[in-house]
Chains A and B, each alone.
Chain A
Amino acid sequence: MVQYLVRRLVIAVPMLLGAVSIVFFAMRILPGDPCMAMMGDQATTEALADCTKNLGLDRPLLVQYVDYLWRSVQLDFGTSLREGYPVREYIGRMFPHTLVLVVASAVVAALVGIPIGIISALKRRSPLIDYPLRIFALLGLSMPVFWLGILLLIFFSLRLDLFPLIGGGDLDGVLDMIRSGEFLSHPADFLAGVGDVLYHLTLPALALGFTLAATVSRLSRSAMLEVISQDYIRTARAKGQRERAVVYKHAFRNMMVPLLTIIGLFVAIALTGTVLTETVFTRPGLGKMLVDAIGARDYPLAQGAITVFTMIIITVNLAVDMLYAVVDPRITYK
C-alpha cells in the first residue's frame, strides 16, 4: 500500500509538470497579451513596450519558462500582473471559499443523488416513482447552474428574503479563529461565524449540488442496476435475506466502487461548476478568479490557479484509489 502510494506520488510529479507546462505555453499562445488587456484602446507602441519590459515579458520564452518552473518548485507563483498581490497569498485566500463550496455541493449531490439513483434503480418497474425521479435527473442535467442560481436568488433571497444575495460569509474570520485557537475561548463567536458562512453557502451549494446530483443519480442508478443483476444478489435473495439486507449489505457496498470513480471525476466537474456559481452568487473563490485572470492574461495568477486545480484533482483521484481498497477488501495495492 505504502509502496503504491509512493509510486503514485512519484508519477504525480511529471503529471503536474506536464499540466503547468501546458498552461504556461497555452497562455502564451493565446492571442493578446497582459499589457494589451490592461491598456485596452489606450495602448500606444511605446507604452506597450514599457509595460512588456516592466513585467519581464520581453525575456526569451524559455528563460521565462525555466524561471517559472524554478519558482513554482519553491511554491512561489509570482505576483498577479493585474492586482499586484502575491499569487500564493491570493490563492490561499480564495481557496477556502472554493473548497467549502465544492465540499458542500458534493454533500448535497451525494445526499440527494445517491438515494434517488438507488430508489430509481430498485423501483424501475414503478413508473410513478422511477419516472419523476428520472425527470428530476434530466432537469438537473439540462438546467445550467447560473440559471438555477438566478432562480434561487429571486425566490429565496429577493422574494422570501431568507438568504443573502452576495458574499461568502466571514470565512476568513472563522479560519483566523481556528488558527489562533480563539474558537476555544470564544465558542459562541466561532459558532456564529460558522453559521454565517453556512448561511451564505446554502444557496450556492444547493444550486451547484442540484446540478451535480442529477449526474450522481444517473450514474448511481446504472451502477445499482448492474449490481443487482449479479449472481450473488440472486443468491442472497435465494437464501431468503430481507430486501433491505440485500440492498444495503450486498448491493450498496459493491456499487460503491464505480461510485467512487464517479466522485473522482465529480471533483473536476464541481471545480468547473464553481466558476459560474461563484459568479452568479458573487462569492469570492478560485473559479471566478481564474476566469478573470485568463481574460486579463494575468499569467502568474492563471498559472497558479490551474496548478492548484491540478493538484486537487490528482489528490482526489489518489484518495479515491486508496478508498477502493477500503470499500472492497478484494482490492489490494502492491
Chain B
Amino acid sequence: MIDHPVPLTVMLAERQRRRAISSRAEPRSSSRPGPHHHERGKSMSSHHRSPWLLALVGALAVCVLAGSVPAEAQRKKVVNIAAKEPDTLDPHTSILGQTQAIVRFMYRGLTRFAIKDGKVTTAEVEPDLAESWTLSSDGTVWTFKLRKGVQFHKGFGEFTAEDVKFSFERQMNRAPGTRFGVNLGVIKSIEIVDPHTVQIALKAFDPIFLLRMVGYQQGYIVSKKAVEKFGDQYKWNPVGTGPFYFDRHSPREKVVLKAFDKFLGGRPQIDEVQWFDVPEDATKLIGLEKGTFDLLYPEAVTADFADQVKKMGAVIDRRGPGGQERFYIDMTKPPFDDIRVRRAFMHAIDRKAIKETLYPGDLARVASSCLPPGYFGHVPMTFPEYDPEKARKLLAEAGHPNGFTIKNYFISKSFFYPKVLTLAQEQLRKVGIIVELQVVEHATYHENIRKNLDPFVLYGGTRITDADPWLSLFFDSKEIPDPATGNKGTNFAHYRAIDDLLAAGRVERDVKKRAAIYAEAQKRIERDLVCLPLSDVPGQWARNPKRVSTPFDPDYGEFSLHYSYNYPELLKVLN
C-alpha cells in the first residue's frame, strides 16, 4: 500500500536495490537526478503538476513494487549540486575549480582557516587534523601533534603521521600527475616521531608554512594505504578524512558522495551529495528554479544570472577574495618600455566602467591593489585615474601623436577574457591605441602569453593568501617567461624591481616587518606602472535557501579559495 505519491526515481532506486539483492548484482549507477523536486516540494517556483508520462512509466514500476517504499528513502537528506565534472578526485592532481570545490567535501588538512566572530577568516589558521604545533627556535622545524582516533573513509584505518609524510612526499617527489609540489619546496625532510607526532624540517624559515598546511591543494592529507592500493586508479577511488566519502562516479553525469559516520567533527546532517556535470549556466538556472538543484557553481556570474537568481528567491553566496582580473604590462616591449605609454594606457582604461559592465553593483569590487584584499600584506594602491585626454597627451609626448596599432593580440575565448578585452579594446581605441584581437582557445592563450606575444597580458587567479607566493609568482624576475630558455613563468610585466624585498620577506619572522616589506613592494609596483588591477571578483555560488542553509553570511561571510564552502559539514538541508 502506497500512502502518498512516490516519485519514479525512488521507485526505480528501490527496485534496483531489490534486484541487486535478489540477483547479487551490483546496484547500477543511475543517471537520474537523485531526489527529484517531486518529493521535496521546495522548488523555487511552484510548477508542480503530475507529469503524465511519469505516471505512465511509473505505473509500470508500481506493478512490480510489492509493499511501500522504505521510510529512509523518503527521509534521506540529499543536496544536489550543479557544477562541471571534476577531472579527478585526487586532491593533489588538479587545478580545476570544480575539482578543488568537490575535494573539500572529502579531505582535510593539518590546519584550516579559523572561524572568528562568525566569519571564516584568512588571517589565522586553527588546528584541524593536527591538534597543536610548535616551531623550533631557529624557525626551521615544525612539530605537529596529530589528533588521535581520526578515521579514513571506507575502513582504511586511523590517520597517522605516516599519512602526513606520504601526502607531502608524494608531491615533493613529483609523483606523476601531482601539481602542487612547488608549494612544498621549502620542506627539507619529514620525520615520524611517533604515530601521532610528525616533525617537518624546512630548508629555511617560511613565514607562511601554516597557510601551506591548510586543507587546500598541497595541504590535503590522503590515505597512504589507499593510494598504494589503487595506484593510477586512486583518482576515482579517493580516501580522505573529510565529512563525505566517495560513493560512485558516472562519467559525464555525476559524482555521488555520502555522509561519513566517523567524521572527526561528527556525522554531517546531509546524507548524500549529488554533484552533477552541468556545463551550461542556463540549464543550471532552470534546474535551480525547478528544484532539481539546490546549489549552483556557475561558470560566470553575470548581471543577468544574478537577477534571475534573485527573482526566483535564491541567494548568491559571495566568498572573498576570489579571483582578481588585472593587466600586466610588459615593460620591456616597445612602445610600453616607455613609462609614459604605460601611464597613458592606464589613463585610457576606465576600470569602473569595465567592472560595472561585467559585474554591476555588488557582483564585484573595483580592485584596489595588485595584491588583492584578503591576502596578507595587502595595502591599497593608487592608479592613474580614467582620463582619455591625458592619455592622448602622454602618447603624443612619447612620440605617438596618432596612437599605434597592436596587431595579432591574442586573447582566450573563455571565461572573462574576451569580455574584458573587448571593453578595453574600445576604451583604448578612443585614445588611438588600436588592438587587433585574435581570439584563441584557452590553452593556446596560455601558450602564447608565455611566448611574450602579447605586450600587455590579462590574467586572473587565486593563490595561497599571502603576499609572498602571490608577488613571487607575478613579480619575481625568476618568473619572467622566456621561450629561449623554456621558462614558462608568469611575470608577464618582466619586472625586476622587487626581488630584494621578496627575498627579505621570505626570512622575516616579525609580522609587522613583513607587512612593511610588502607595502613597500606594492609602492614600487605602483611607481613603475606595470600592473593595473581591474576587478576583485568573489567566488560565487547560487543557493536555494529554502532547501540548504549555511551558518555564514551570504555576503563575504566566508573566505574561500577555489571552493566556496570551507566547511561542507555545516551545510544543512531544510525540510
- Determine whether the beta carbon of B16 is less than 8 Å from that of A173: yes
Find the residue from B48, B279, B283, B447 having the highest chain A CB count within 10 A.
B283
Contact B32 A284 (CB under 8 A): no
B280 lies within 8 A of chain A by Cβ? yes
A-B residue pair count with CB separations less than 8 angstroms: 212
Please tell me if the beta carbons of A154 and B443 are within 8 angstroms of each other in the complex: no
Provide the bound-state CA to CA distance between A189 and B63, in Å. Answer: 9
Q: How many residues of A are in contact with the other chain, CB < 8 A?
A: 74
Q: Which residues of A contact B181 (CB under 8 A)?
A: 47
Specify which of B51, B94, B442 is in contact with A162 (CB 8 Å cutoff).
B51
Given A36-B446, A42-B95, are A171 and B31 also a contact pair (CB < 8 Å)? yes
- 300-316 of chain B: CB within 8 A of chain A: none
Please state if B278 and A282 are interface contacts (CB–CB under 8 Å): yes
Q: Is the CB of B251 within 8 A of A90?
A: yes
| A186 vs B60: C-alpha distance when bound (angstroms) | 12
Cα distance A30–B94 in the bound complex, in angstroms = 22
Give the residues in chain A near B15, CB-CB below 8 Å.
189, 192
Q: Is the CB of A54 within 8 A of B53?
A: no
A184 to B339, CA, bound (A): 79
Residue A14 interfacial (CB < 8 Å): no
Q: Is A41 an interface residue (CB 8 A)?
A: yes
Report the minimal beta-carbon distance from B247 to chain A, rounded to whole angstroms. 16
B488 CB–A CB distance under 8 Å:
yes
Known: A84-B236, A284-B250. A160 touches B95 (CB 8 A): no
CB contact between A54 and one of B176, B233, B488 (< 8 Å): that residue: B176
Is A285 at the interface (CB under 8 A from chain B)? Answer: yes
Among the listed B8, B28, B56, B447, which residue makes an inter-chain contact with A33, where contact means beta carbons less than 8 Å apart?
B447
Contact with A along B183-206 (1 / 0, CB 8 A): 000000000000000000000000
Contact B61 A42, beta carbon cutoff 8 Å: no
Contact present for A31 and B179 (CB under 8 Å):
no
A39: interface (CB < 8 Å): yes
Within 8 A of B (CB), among A192-228: 192-193, 195-196, 198-200, 202
**Nearest A-chain residue to B97, judged by Cβ:** A40
B434-471 at interface with A (beta carbon < 8 Å): 440-448, 459-461
B447 touches A31 (CB 8 A): yes
Please pick, from B95, B283, B441, B486, the residue contacting A38 in the complex, using a CB distance under 8 A.
B95
Is B235 in the interface zone, CB < 8 Å from A? yes
| Interface pair B488/A48, CB less than 8 Å apart | yes
Q: Which residues of B contact A193 (CB under 8 A)?
A: 12
CB contact between A44 and one of B16, B63, B282, B488 (< 8 Å): that residue = B488
Bound-state CA distance A49–B182 (Å) is 13
B492 vs chain A, min Cβ distance (A):
11
**Do B28 and A176 have beta carbons less than 8 Å apart?**
yes
A170-197 vs B, CB cutoff 8 Å, 1 = contact: the mask equals 1111001000101000101101110110
| A33 and B286 contacting across the interface, CB-CB below 8 Å | no
**CB-based contact A150/B447 at 8 Å:** no
User: Are B252's CB and A195's CB within 8 A?
Assistant: no
Contact of A192 among B28, B60, B176 (CB under 8 A): B60
For A137-178 the 0/1 string (1 means CB < 8 A from B) is 000000000000010011001111111111111111100100
Which residues of the partner chain A approach B94 to less than 8 Å between Cβ atoms?
38
**Cβ of A94 to closest chain B Cβ, rounded Å:** 7
- Interface residue from A46, A153, A191 paired with B286 (Cβ < 8 Å): A153
Cβ 8 A contact of B31, one of A38, A84, A85, A168: A168
Q: At the interface, yes or no: A229 with Cβ under 8 Å from chain B?
A: no
Q: Within 8 Å CB of A42, what residues of B?
A: 95, 179-180, 182
Tell me whether A45 and B487 are in contact (CB under 8 A). Answer: yes
Q: Does B160 touch A at the CB level, under 8 Å?
A: no
A82: interface (CB < 8 Å): yes
A280 contacts partner chain B, Cβ-Cβ < 8 Å: yes
| CA A165 to CA B253, docked complex, whole Å | 13
Instruction: Tell me whether B52 and A162 are in contact (CB under 8 A).
Output: yes
Using CB atoms and an 8 Å cutoff, list the residues of chain B in contact with chain A: 8, 12, 15-16, 19, 23, 25, 28-33, 36, 45, 47-49, 51-54, 56-57, 60-61, 63-64, 87-88, 94-95, 174, 176-177, 179-182, 232-233, 235-236, 250-253, 276-280, 282-283, 286-287, 289-290, 292, 440-448, 459-461, 486-490
For the complex with contacts A45-B489, A158-B289, 14 further pairs of A-B residues with Cβ separation under 8 Å are A31-B444, A32-B443, A44-B488, A47-B174, A84-B88, A159-B47, A162-B53, A164-B33, A165-B286, A170-B30, A280-B283, A282-B276, A284-B31, A284-B251
On A, residues with C-beta under 8 Å from B are 30-33, 36-51, 54, 82-85, 90, 93-94, 150, 153-154, 157-173, 176, 180, 182, 186, 188-189, 191-193, 195-196, 198-200, 202, 279-282, 284-285, 288-289, 295-297
> What are 8 A-B pairs at a CB distance below 8 A?
A32-B447, A48-B488, A166-B292, A169-B32, A180-B25, A193-B12, A280-B283, A297-B443
